[in-house]
C-alpha cells in the first residue's frame, strides 16, 4: 500500500472519501450479464465502451487496464470476456473489495489489482493494449495522468473513458432560480437514495481538459451522450430516454452540444504512423 506521505493532498482526500464510502456500502457481487442485455445499445456510454473495446481489441492475448477501477466490477467483466486485466485505484478499500470479488469468481490469475495514483503508475512502458475508465478522469490531475497513459500504452493502443462534461449553457439554466425552486440542487441524489456528495475536487471535464488530452493524443475522438436521459433519475425508463437522445443527436447534430456525458477515445499512433 502507498504511504500517505507519497500522496498529494488531493489524492489523500479522494482515497479517504472512497474508503469512507466502503464503510457504508460495497459490492458483494458482480452482474456479469449487465451489458449483454438488449436494452443497452450504442445509446448507452458504458455499452458503447464494451462494444468498442471488443470490436477493436478483441480478446484473448490483450492486456487491459481498468483505470481507477473502483470495486472492480468492470475489470472482472473484462476478465470474464477473456482479457488479461490489471486494475488500479487510489482507494485501498475499493481495491480490497475488488480482490475479494476476484477470488469469489475465480479470476485471481487473470485480474490483478493494486493501489496506485493515476498520476504516477508503476506499470512498464508500452505494456497495455487498452485502458478503460468510467467516471474517473474528472477525479485525477490530468496534466500528470495523461502523459502516464501515453507511456504505458503500446503503439496502436487506445485509452477509452466515459465521463461527465461541463455544459455551461445548460448549467446556467439548471442553476437559475425558477428551476432550482422546482428541482433543488441535490434532489437527484435524494430521489436515488444516495447519501454521499461529489468529492471536493471533482468537476466535470471542460474544453481545457480536452485541449490537454489532444496535445498528448492528437488522434482523439469524442462521442456525446445524455440530454433527456439526465432525467432518468426522476423519470424512470432510462433506456427509452437514451434512445431518444441517440436519435436526436443523429437527426439534429447541433443538440450534441447539450450532452453532459462523453466517451473520449485517445489513440496512440502505431510505429508506422
Decide: is 96 part of the binding site for ligand SAM (CB under 6 A): no
The secondary structure of residue 205, as a DSSP letter, is B
Between residues 40 and 249, which has the closer beta carbon with respect to ligand SAM? 40
Between residues 136 and 158, which has the closer beta carbon with respect to ligand SAM? 136
Here the cell at position 222 is 469524442
CB of 148 to ligand SAM, least distance (A): 10
**What pairs with residue 223 in β-bridges?**
263
Decide: is 85 part of the binding site for ligand SAM (CB under 6 A): no
CB of 195 to ligand SAM, least distance (A): 15
CB of 152 to ligand SAM, least distance (A): 14
Interatomic CA distance for residues 62 and 174, integer angstroms: 43
CB 146 within 8 A of CB 205: no
Binding mask 12-31 for ligand SAM (x = CB under 6 A): --x---x-------------
Cα 51 to chain centroid distance, Å, stands at: 15
Give the list of residues 6+ apart from residue 100 with CB closer than 8 angstroms, or none: none
Site for ligand SAM in 139-198 (CB under 6 A): 139-140
Decide: is 114 part of the binding site for ligand SAM (CB under 6 A): no
CB 167 within 8 A of CB 203: no
How many other β-carbons are positioned within 10 Å of the β-carbon of residue 46?
A: 17
Which of residues 90, 230, 241, 266 is near ligand SAM by CB under 6 A? Answer: 90
Site for ligand SAM in 34-73 (CB under 6 A): 68-70, 73
Here the cell at position 236 is 424512470
Direct distance between the N- and C-terminal alpha carbons of the chain, in angstroms, rounded to an integer: 39
From 78-86, 89-97, 208-216, 260-268, span contacting ligand SAM (CB under 6 A)? 89-97
Amino acid at each position: 500500500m502507498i504511504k500517505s506521505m507519497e500522496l498529494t493532498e488531493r489524492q489523500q482526500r479522494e482515497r479517504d472519501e472512497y474508503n469512507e464510502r466502503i464503510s457504508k456500502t460495497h459490492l458483494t457481487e458482480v452482474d456479469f450479464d449487465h451489458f449483454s442485455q438488449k436494452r443497452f445499445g450504442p445509446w448507452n456510454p458504458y455499452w458503447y465502451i464494451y462494444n468498442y473495446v471488443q470490436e477493436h481489441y478483441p480478446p484473448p492475448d490483450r492486456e487491459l487496464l481498468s483505470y481507477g477501477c473502483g470495486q472492480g466490477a468492470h475489470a472482472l467483466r473484462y476478465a470474464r470476456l477473456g482479457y488479461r486485466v490489471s486494475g488500479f485505484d487510489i482507494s485501498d478499500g475499493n481495491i480490497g473489495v475488488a480482490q475479494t470479488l476476484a477470488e469469489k469468481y475465480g479470476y485471481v490469475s487473470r485480474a490483478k489489482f493494486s493501489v496506485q495514483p493515476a498520476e504516477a503508475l508503476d506499470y512498464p512502458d508500452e505494456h497495455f493494449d487498452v485502458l478503460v475508465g468510467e467516471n474517473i478522469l474528472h477525479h485525477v490531475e490530468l496534466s500528470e495522468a495523461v502523459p502516464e497513459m501515453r507511456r504505458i500504452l503500446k503503439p496502436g493502443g487506445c485509452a477509452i473513458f466515459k465521463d461527465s462534461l461541463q455544459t455551461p449553457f445548460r448549467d446556467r439554466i439548471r442553476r437559475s432560480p425558477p428551476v432550482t425552486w422546482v428541482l433543488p440542487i441535490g434532489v437527484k441524489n435524494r430521489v436515488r437514495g444516495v447519501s454521499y456528495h461529489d468529492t471536493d475536487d471533482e468537476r466535470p471535464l471542460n474544453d481545457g481538459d480536452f485541449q490537454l488530452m489532444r496535445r498528448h493524443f492528437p488522434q482523439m475522438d469524442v462521442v456525446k451522450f445524455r440530454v433527456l436521459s439526465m432525467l432518468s433519475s426522476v423519470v424512470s425508463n432510462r433506456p427509452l430516454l437514451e434512445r431518444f437522445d441517440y436519435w436526436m443527436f443523429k437527426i439534429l447534430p447541433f443538440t450534441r452540444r447539450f450532452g453532459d456525458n462523453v466517451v473520449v477515445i485517445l489513440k496512440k499512433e502505431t510505429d508506422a504512423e
